[in-house]
Amino acid sequence: MSLYQIWIRSFADGNSDGIGDLYGVYDKLDYIASLGVDGIWFSPIYPSPNADYGYDISDYRNIHPDYGTLDQFRKVLDRAHELGLKVIMDLVINHTSDEHPWFLESRSSRDNPYSDYYIWRDPKWKGESKLPPNNWYSQFDGLAWEYCPERKQYYLHVFAKKQPDLNMDNPKVREEVKDIMRFWLDMGVDGFREDVITYISKHPQLPDGIPFLPAINGMPFYKDGPNLLQYLREFRAVAREYGALQIGEAPMTPIKTALTYLTGEDRVLDMMIQFDTMSADCFMTDYIHLPFSLRRLKHAFSKWQRALDGKAWNALYLENHDHPRVISRYGSEEYWRESGTMLAAAYIFQQGTPFLYQGQEIGMTNIRLGSIEDYRDAATINTYHSFRLRQPKEKRLRHIHISSRDSARTPVQWDDSEHAGFSDVEPWFAVNPNYRDVNVKKEEADPLSILNFYRRCLRLRKESDALLQGSYREYLPRHPHIYLYERSFQNERFLIVCSFSKKNQTWKLPKGYASDNCSLVLCNYPAKAKLGQLRPYETQVLRWTAD
Ligand code: GLC
Ligand code: CA
């Protein structure tokens, strides 16, 4: 299987208001199917005040009016199914919007039917001064607690103020979650991508965190918490009734814990989105940037490949709506086509389910806006205003250029007309000025384009058991410029060799490989590939069969 992620607001505008929507999605379903993927994951498309662009939900059973209606969603779903595409919805249940009716009730008093739906605590008092219940910071804006005068209590928000955390220890809340799941499964959706699902069970005492990295000091007490497995089992039971897929987002979850979700009788998740492969050029978060290290990336790849082999199944990705564009991070904008294609081969042929994020398949790159006012993402804006404040503005803006997740949220570049064919009016967010060169229409017509290379990769992967289920082995793990991995199954073997260098590189076949019976099945340069030699950002996929 492989999945294509849609972050709808920037995908395609079908009704000319500058905002992507389900009308636009409907028109592009054939395009998505043409990539060779097996399904779509929709980032949230529900009603939301958009404090976190859909990840703050105010109604779990409807469609945001900007994006269409439930009827339009059903049309998309039916057509997707006709085309053989599964549809996966984002399930955001760690928190709601503060405008969700549950929260409006909950905050109104201490005794209402929803009073225990969220995590409320009394203030701590230091003499006359009122303090939050603990020292946790939110991942988005300041402290993780917000005071509510009506209740004279604080509520917890691990993300923005406008995203109060649900109290999953309350069985009623878990029943709500199950009902929401059923609502969408009854309609025919095929599963869920479960947003920060590993945060839903908090340590009952909510102890103070170690003031180490402010934004995540509470993390040890809300991540992979004490009742998580039990709650996931309950949700799994619902998913099982429908044969639905569950993909859990799990920031910083170590492999050992991951295996408790992914294996055994519990097997509460089909796949897990780990964050290790997003950390080859940063420390913990994209906002603490480091020079890109291929060794770090390879280490992360191989660690997960080895740990899950034969036991569980990997979610493979290089991009999503939370990270800058991968060519700008791990590749090279200068060697745009070469590195964009090489990166595709570097992950698609690993063991697992490849995810493609909208625009990745045409090699969209980071945007560099002139001022922080031009950015839209709350996490980006908050980082700019609260981090590295002693540095000059220009320098802080340069950090944002490197690290902002808004780079993944610019409108998809469909053609070279005004607004990149995304909309016929001014879009809600800036279009990357490179749209005249980087766009779907141009790449459709070019057999050597990044787009067509993605198609070739996905096709090749599907045609071979070795690439689908074969075992994984890495060679040259310490090589600073080359990533070399093997997939093998029965009598078929592949080597995928990827150069992450602007210079020519050489390499040797590992022991047990002979050069004479090898065939080159894929290369990102048009001609003259040579065994043992790699041009800048070249990738070669080599195949051996023993009869
Ligand atoms: C997940 C989402 C991200 C969102 C956060 C809070 O990490 O992918 O976009 O901001 O959760 O919901
Ligand atoms: Ca629209």
Average confidence (pLDDT) over 480-484: 98
What distance in angstroms lies between residue 349's CA and the mean position of ligand 1's atoms? 27
Note the pLDDT tens digit of each residue in 240-275.
Answer: 999 999 999 999 999 999 999 999 998 999 999 999
Which protein residue has the closest C-alpha to ligand 1 atom 5? 55
Cα–Cα distance between 491 and 469 in angstroms, integer?
A: 13
What pLDDT score does 399 carry?
96
pLDDT band per the 50, 70, 90 thresholds, residue 461: very high
What pLDDT score does 346 carry?
99
Which protein residue has the closest C-alpha to ligand 1 atom 7? 196
What distance in angstroms lies between residue 162's CA and the mean position of ligand 1's atoms? 13
Cα–Cα distance between 60 and 187 in angstroms, integer?
A: 14
The mean pLDDT value of the chain amounts to 97
Pocket test of ligand 1: the residue of 322, 404, 406, 407 to mutate, having most ligand atoms within 8 Å of its CB, is 322
What distance in angstroms lies between residue 379's CA and the mean position of ligand 1's atoms? 10
What pLDDT score does 280 carry?
98
Active site residue 465: no
Judge whether residue 547 has pLDDT over 70.
no
Average confidence (pLDDT) over 533-543: 98
* E-only strand ranges, 250-374: 271-273, 282-283, 285-289, 315-316, 353-357
Minimum-distance ligand 1 atom for the alpha carbon of 321: 9
At residue 231, what are phi and psi to the nearest 5 degrees? Answer: -65, -40
Judge whether residue 443 has pLDDT over 80.
yes
- Three-class DSSP category at 493: strand
What pLDDT score does 215 carry?
78
Q: Report yes or no: 469 and 363 within 8 Å, Cβ to Cβ.
A: no
What pLDDT score does 276 carry?
97
Judge whether residue 141 has pLDDT over 90.
no
Note the pLDDT tens digit of each residue in 152-161.
Answer: 999 999 999 9
Note the pLDDT tens digit of each residue in 75-133.
Answer: 999 999 999 999 999 999 999 999 999 999 999 999 999 999 999 999 999 999 999 99
DSSP 185: H
Q: Give pTM, 2 decimals.
A: 0.98
CA distances from 541 to 342, 348, 457, 533, 536 (A): 10, 11, 10, 13, 16
Residue whose entry in the numeric block shows the structure tokens 């399904």: 39
Identify the residues whose C-beta falls under 6 Å from ligand 1: 52, 55, 92, 159, 195-196, 249, 321-322
Active site residue 444: no
DSSP 279: -
Minimum-distance ligand 1 atom for the alpha carbon of 55: 12
Q: How many helices (H) and strands (E) does the chain have?
A: 15, 22
The ligand placed nearest to the CA atom of residue 15 is 2
Judge whether residue 387 has pLDDT over 90.
no
Note the pLDDT tens digit of each residue in 466-477.
Answer: 999 999 999 999
Which protein residue has the closest C-alpha to ligand 1 atom 9? 322
What pLDDT score does 95 carry?
98
Judge whether residue 412 has pLDDT over 70.
yes
What distance in angstroms lies between residue 295's CA and the mean position of ligand 1's atoms? 27
